[in-house]
Amino acid sequence: MKKRKFGLVLSSVLAASAILGACGTKDEEKPAKDNASSGDNNTEETFSVAMVTDVGGVDDKSFNQSAWEGVQAYGKEHNLKKGKGGFDYLQSASDADYETNLNNLLRRDFDLVFGIGYMMADAVEAVAADNPDKHFALIDAEVKADNVVSILFKEQEGAFLAGVAAAKMSKTGKIGFVGGVDIPVINRFEAGFVEGAKAVNPDIEIQRNYTAAFDKADLGKIAANSMYSSGVDIIFHAAGATGNGVFSEAKERKAKDPNANVWVIGVDADQYDEGKVDDKTNVTLTSMLKGVNSAVVDFSNKAKNGEFPGGTTVVYGLAEDGVKLADSRGAIPADVQAVIDEYKQKISSGEIVVPEKVEK
């Protein structure tokens, strides 16, 4: 999977955030451990990092995988090995595993533990309260605690651009949105997609389906089958591993009929590879990227350097390059891309404020 680099812009924003956070937090950086990192003649003291996935799994080709890629990148940067004293992850099979997995990583003495996903907020809050001397980072939700940094993204801004692309590229005037669980972060994806599509085509028909799961590819496939069968030609998913089923349905239709006009807009990571039908055919129109992997690397390094911004919330949008659309590899023509770029500029400048929730 082709990876996107958000680090340069995110790092500059994070530097300012960390300085402000350091002034307001009661937490002080713990001394680094004495054991040296793996590698020949490397005496750098280690700072270990680990993460707990939500139920989508570490290989969801999307949100959790992006976070894990960030943890691995941090480990590679500091010549660490997977496991205790280096970097690692624990996968949650259900929400009942969240607190257990967080505590298991603390018992293994990781210096910074990431909770990946909105659904982990309660668990992170509880475990952080019980372990005030430990450091936590929570992605996609907010916890008010001196030993937790909350990392949020303006998904609605990136999704707005996805909506513009879908409405401009649709030949049927029907597009679809497949969401996972009906929670605020997914509502932001939906709201942005709807607003963007209607901005360029007020008459566009938008079908929406929440599958109530992030780990059920079969439900994503069923939702996509229904939409494509009704005339929808482009589907944007924000459903984690459930979205893999959307890709499966689109690829099956394209393989059966090479002339079928079916597209998928991926989410969180560049999902171009997920849309590959054969060497010449791909059903991925573009993907709405979130800089989760780069944020993980940046916050890990900040914490390692004694700059952990505990008690703060950092939010990334288009202006900070925290969300964006992936390269379409020619699927989106230049005239449509120009319209997308125009809206990107208007949102980044504040001329357009994208709502976080669809008004019913």
The pLDDT assigned to 359 comes to 78
In the sheet that 135-139 helps form, which strands lie side by side, from edge to edge?
A: 87-90, 49-52, 112-116, 135-139, 148-153, 313-316
Residue 230 has pLDDT above 80, yes or no: yes
Residue 107 has pLDDT above 70, yes or no: yes
263 Ramachandran zone, left/alpha/beta (phi>0; psi -120 to 50) = beta
Mean pLDDT of the chain: 90
In this prediction, residue 360 has a pLDDT band, given cuts at 50, 70 and 90, of low
The pLDDT assigned to 11 comes to 44
Residue 40 has pLDDT above 70, yes or no: no
Residue 208 has pLDDT above 80, yes or no: yes
In this prediction, residue 106 has a pLDDT band, given cuts at 50, 70 and 90, of very high
Instruction: Supply the CATH classification number for the domain 155-289+321-349.
Output: 3.40.50.2300
pTM of the full structure: 0.85
Mean pLDDT of 58-79: 96
Mean pLDDT of 28-38: 40
Among 9-18, 165-174, 209-218, the minimum mean pLDDT is found in 9-18
The pLDDT assigned to 10 comes to 45
- Each domain of the chain, given as residue ranges in start order, spans 7-153+291-316, 155-289+321-349
CATH topology of domain 7-153+291-316: Rossmann fold (3.40.50)
Residue 284 has pLDDT above 50, yes or no: yes
CB-count burial class (<10 Å; 0-12, 13-18, 19+) for 151: buried
Give the tens place of pLDDT for each residue, 114-163.
999 999 999 999 999 999 999 999 999 999 999 999 999 999 999 999 99
